[in-house]
Structure 1
Amino acid sequence: MISTVIFLQEGAGSLMSMLPFLAIIVVFYFFMIRPQMNKQKKEKAFQAEIKVGTKVVTSSGIHGKIATINAADNTITIETGAGKIKFERSAISMELSKRFLEPAKK
């Protein structure tokens, strides 16, 4: 009987000692993992809706206008001031057209 009581007391202590670790995991999920997943989903949707003639900026900072879109190998040709450059669709980071059409926030 005494050994049963001791085992029950130890079980509750180990559960309570794991509670902070579980809380940290939940905080990491809601403040780091979930927002990153939402951001990736928005970027993927943005890259899928890009059209020819859209002014864009690549992740390397090159500004240009989309000349062609090749769906077969998932590439985009961007027309810059110096010529045309071929990029992966995932290299497009933002659209300049939308950025300049938005009103300035005060």
Structure 2
Amino acid sequence: MNYILFGLMFVVMYFFMIRPQQKRAKAEKEFENGLKVGDRIITKSGIHAKISEMSDTTIVIETMSGKLKMERSAISMELSAKLKEAKK
């Protein structure tokens, strides 16, 4: 009986914790790969900018005060999506 409860607890934990986290990570990875030069973005720290250069793991963004080199993972997926919706 204890093994059944332990198995059931693992299944519930998988569907409520592990699987959603994997989906979110996959969506973020697709978002990072879909970025292109000229896209307007918002970083996780709140900087509004436009992408001016890209490499495999880093990007150069252009702000009103200059250019910054950042990791691709520093771009906020949620805020960038809201920016694209607002433009439409």
What TM-score results when the alignment is normalised by the length of structure 2?
0.86
SS of equivalent to 1:38: helix
Does the 8 Å CA contact 1:63/1:80 hold for their aligned counterparts?
yes
Percent identical among aligned pairs is 49
Q: Please identify, of 26-35 and 53-62, the stretch whose mean Cα deviation from structure 2 is larger.
A: 53-62
CA-to-aligned-CA distance 1:18-73 (integer Å, 9 cap, x gap)? 211211110010111001101100100100010111011112221111011123xx
Aligned-pair distance for 1:17? 1.7
Question: Structure 1 residue 51 and structure 2 residue 70: aligned?
Answer: no
What TM-score results when the alignment is normalised by the length of structure 1?
0.73
Q: Partner of 1:33 in structure 2?
A: 18
SS of equivalent to 1:61: coil
Q: Partner of 1:3 in structure 2?
A: none
> Runs of 5+ in structure 1 lacking a partner?
1-15
Q: Partner of 1:75 in structure 2?
A: 58
> Runs of 5+ in structure 2 lacking a partner?
none
Distance in structure 2 (CA, Å) of the matches to 1:101 and 1:80? 19
Q: What RMSD in Å do the two structures reach over aligned CA positions? A: 1.5
1:3-22 equivalences in 2 (<5 Å): 16-22=1-7
Q: Considering only CA atoms, is the larger Rg found in Structure 1 or Structure 2?
A: 1
